[in-house]
Amino acid sequence: MAVYTDLSDEDLAGLIAAYDLGQPLALKGIAEGVENSNFLLETEAGRFILTIFEKRTKRADLPFFMDVMERLAAKGVPAPRPMRTRAGGLLSDVHGKACAIITFLTGVSPKRPNAAQCRAIGVKLAEMHVALADFPGARANALSIDAWGPLIWPRRALAGELRPGLADAVEADLAVVQKSWPHGLPQGVIHADLFPDNTLFLGDEAKGLIDFYFACTDALAYDLAVCLNAWCFEPRGAFNLTKGQALIGGYEGVRKLSADEREALPLLARGAALRFFATRLADWAETPPGALVRPKDPLEYADKLGFHRSAKGVGDYGG
């Protein structure tokens, strides 16, 4: 979450007039993340999140994201519910950009997740996959394996500046992953970005899954691989096996992995690390001046790739 587009009082009043939310009472920018402009909005009807879609988010994808969140909220998975306008739409416009207002969920994003929280998010991830098993919509993963090279190659020099030899090491990772990337695994709608800062907890209880703007149709086990990268590493690329066991165990308590998924999980985890290294490298190079945002360090994922190179099987991840 971040702020790239400012709103005047007149902008806000015109936007809120399309909804049955009463008068606006307060609006505060949220200066986190790298993708869209986000605000905490308070109205006479309660607290909401207002998102203005920027950068990589394509307008044609927005109905898919809104429908996914609405379906999850209706099925009891703790996702935000998009608010409909008086005309029944899920999207509005401001400054020529699409925007949405969604329900505000309470909770705190964990800074250093513990094993119990890893187990809880494994459970919620699997519940999300099950809840969306009959979802009729589909969206290709625009940041899947074919996208990583084009993000990395033009920025080889920057990678080398961040760490000597890094560009060559990452290109070798990419070659290995491209050669052996698994196909034919169970598919469905995945979150694709379920980091701790896209979750909300009260203690060890997961109370919210948020920021579905990378959701897409892909291998379900890839979503789990993203979470292993995001939840189970300690600083400097050390994998916490206890957290990995908790996350995979929580997931399999709801949805069992197939033998093919278990075999593929180490390669999927390596690929997921490449995906986030690639986009972080691009954001590091291109975050516009003046934005209220600090780009995330690509070296965090360079360190994680070091672990993935040495992993021999799913047991190294706690499976």
Is the pLDDT higher at 31 or at 67? 67
**Phi and psi dihedrals of 248, rounded to 5?**
-65, -40
The pLDDT of residue 3 is: 60
Which residues, listed in sequence order, are joined to residue 40 by a DSSP beta bridge?
A: 28, 49
The pLDDT of residue 296 is: 87
Say if CB 146 and CB 153 are below 8 A apart: no
Q: Give the residue ranges of DSSP H helices in 45-84.
A: 62-74
As its CATH architecture, domain 9-103 has 2-Layer Sandwich (3.30)
Is the pLDDT higher at 32 or at 208? 208
The set of residues, in sequence order, having a beta carbon less than 8 Å from that of 210 and lying 6+ positions away, is 49, 79, 80, 105, 198, 199, 200
User: Could you tell me which CATH class the domain 115-317 is placed in?
Assistant: alpha beta
Tens digit of each residue's pLDDT (9 = 90 or more) over 215-226: 999 999 999 999
Euclidean distance between CA atoms 61 and 54, whole angstroms: 12
Share of the chain above pLDDT 90, in %: 86
Say if CB 91 and CB 57 are below 8 A apart: no
Give the pLDDT mean for 187-211: 97
The pLDDT of residue 1 is: 45
E-strand stretches of the chain = 24-29, 37-43, 46-52, 92-94, 97-103, 187-190, 199-202, 205-209, 216-219, 233-234, 238-239
The pLDDT of residue 293 is: 60
Q: Any idea where the domains of the chain sit in the sequence?
A: 9-103, 115-317
Task: Determine the angle formed by the axes of helices 220-231 and 241-252, rounding to 10 degrees.
Answer: 150
The pLDDT of residue 292 is: 55
Residue with the two structure tokens 């209880």: 205
Tens digit of each residue's pLDDT (9 = 90 or more) over 98-117: 999 999 999 999 999 999 99
* 310, pLDDT greater than 90: yes
Task: Give 5's DSSP letter.
Answer: S
Average pLDDT of the chain to the nearest whole number? 93
* 295, pLDDT greater than 80: no
Q: How confident is the model at residue 2 (pLDDT cuts 50, 70, 90)?
A: low
The set of residues, in sequence order, having a beta carbon less than 8 Å from that of 245 and lying 6+ positions away, is 115, 318, 319
